[in-house]
Amino acid sequence: MTAVVPNGMAPAPVPAAPGTASGAFPDGVPSPELAGLLAEMARYLEDDPPALSLPPRAFLSPELYELERRRVFGRSWVLVAHVDDVSKPGDYLALTVAEEPVVVVRGSDGVLRGLSPVCRHRLMPVVAPGSGTTDAFTCPYHLWRYGLDGALVEAAYMDGNPAFDPASCRLPAFSVEEWNGFVFVNLDPVAAPLAPHMRQAGRDLECYPLGQMVQVATWVHQWGVNWKLAAQNVYENYHVTGLHGNTIAQITPPGADTDVRVDSPWVTCLRTPLNAPLEASAVDLPEDVKRYMYHWAVFPYGSLQAFADAIIWLSVIPTAVDRTEVRGGVLLPAELVAGADREALRRNALLTPDIVNADDKQALEAVQAVLGSRHAERGHLSPKEPGVQVFYRNLAAALLARH
């Protein structure tokens, strides 16, 4: 492990002033509310950013959410799955990323692709949200059929339309990247690769055989909250004593500091000390990995967390301004899975995540419910929350970027 600078933050690139990007807003000018929110967010890019939470309207504003859809989730790498979910040709996962339908599918050539499932004829989705295995995507509306690479295979009764060129008709593509078994999607079809930003995380995790680890449990939860409430919650350990007294607080000292290391504009490493070293049976852990809870966060919010033999992944994906999908899974070394009772492994792996997720969901939905109160105001951040300021800084840089 490399050294972690306590509460350290690297500077983010300073973007252009709000509203200067061509086409950034429907009429070229942000509304007064949106302009005010962006001006407040710009303060997080200053050398001495405010130790304040986001304005309550930042979690409610439909205009800000629309800007986040384009500038944050339209350009960012979003963790959606582990490779075990799409390991064989024809395996697919269909979901939405900030209301944009996406299907990730393993082609017959073994290549993992990201496609839009919206039929090029009359816009019917060619596959419903969920997962499965198929040899082609067939639109249920008029039976247009697409291959696993997105190319049109068949469109019945279209020969009479001379303007229609079936060879040029295909499902639009998104960027997909596999990193050590984790599957990321970027809605930008020409996105710059994620792997260079994960280089330090890869070095940190060299003690784990990531490419050979097996996913033993997964979850997909729907939370009635703005995605930023869920994301900022996982960037800090301060709330653990309040919400997770019977789980995480049993392994981390109350009031423990979280150290922050900014690896790149996309990746942040957070480290919190443990009450006692974690022991692993199948992984030879360095001393610092035994003594700290490590958490690598990929902006907007996908994360990997190391706990003894296990790696836990978690992703926060908005589905509406006030709804968020929380996806995750637990991985174990292959030698611990071989010959074991998989159902027992699954149940055991979910014991703590299910409790922690339920506690967070209940608390954050309570916060969402009062954001419109006349007494809802910005709160002062604790020195125990340095990761939250890193998240705000990255968010501000993404929202205010010129391009």
**95 and 127 within one domain:** yes
Give the CATH number, domain containing residue 128. 2.102.10.10
Question: Considering the chain, what is the average pLDDT of its residues?
Answer: 92
Residue 227 lies in a domain: yes
pLDDT at position 347, please?
A: 97
Do 151 and 250 share a domain, yes or no? no
pLDDT band at 250 (very low <50, low <70, confident <90, very high): confident
Statement: residue 246 has pLDDT above 90: no
Residue 326 has pLDDT above 60, yes or no: yes
Q: What percent of the chain has pLDDT above 90?
A: 85
Asked if 327 and 131 touch (Cβ cutoff 8 Å), the reply is no
Residue 30 in this model has a pLDDT that exceeds 90: no
pLDDT at res. 17: 34
pLDDT tens across 193-217, in order? 999 999 999 999 999 999 999 999 9
Within a domain: 322: yes
Please tell me the least confidently modeled range out of 56-65, 233-242, 367-376.
233-242
Same domain, 232 and 136: no
pLDDT of residue 249: 84
Query: What is the total count of domains within the chain?
Result: 2
Q: Looking at residue 25, what is its pLDDT?
A: 59
Residue 359 falls within a domain, yes or no?
yes
176 and 200 housed in the same domain: no
Residue-level pLDDT at 162: 93
Cα distances (angstroms) measured from residue 285 to each of 115, 225, 280, 337: 39, 37, 7, 19
**Residue 370 domain-assigned?**
yes
Range of the domain at 181: 78-186
Q: Are residues 54 and 171 in the same domain?
A: no
Q: What is the pLDDT of residues 130-165, one digit of tens each?
A: 999 999 999 999 999 999 999 999 999 999 999 999
CATH code of the domain in which 264 resides: 3.90.380.10
Report, as an integer, the average pLDDT of 173-182: 98
Instruction: Among 186, 221, 255, identify where a domain stops.
Output: 186
Candidate from 23-32, 134-143, 164-173, 387-396 with smallest mean pLDDT: 23-32
Is it the case that residue 5 has pLDDT exceeding 70?
no
* Domain membership flag for residue 127: yes
Kindly state whether residue 47 falls inside one of the protein's structural domains: yes
Q: 231 and 104, same structural domain?
A: no
pLDDT recorded at residue 28: 67
Please determine, for residue 24, whether its predicted confidence score (pLDDT) is greater than 60.
no
Residues 130 and 262 in one domain: no
Same domain for 107 and 216, yes or no, is no
Give the pLDDT confidence score for residue 335 in this predicted structure. Answer: 95
Is the pLDDT at 117 greater than 50? The verdict is yes
Per-residue model confidence (pLDDT) at position 1? 39
Structure confidence at residue 253 as a pLDDT band (50, 70, 90): confident
Domain contains 242: yes
Instruction: Please state, in angstroms and rounded to a whole number, the distance separating the CA atoms of residues 133 and 127.
Output: 11
Instruction: Check residue 196 and give left, alpha or beta (phi > 0: left; psi -120 to 50: alpha).
Output: alpha
Full-model pTM: 0.92
Judgement on whether residues 50 and 89 belong to the same structural domain of the protein? no
Which has more confidence, 313 or 241? 313
Judge whether residue 9 has pLDDT over 60: no
Both 62 and 82 in a single domain?
A: no
For residue 377, pLDDT beyond 90 = yes
Percent of the chain whose predicted confidence (pLDDT) is above 70: 93
Are residues 165 and 252 both part of a single domain? no
Residues 132 and 206 in one domain: no
Q: Which pLDDT value is given to residue 158?
A: 94
Q: Are 229 and 364 in contact (CB under 8 A)?
A: yes
The answer to whether residue 245 sits within a structural domain is: yes
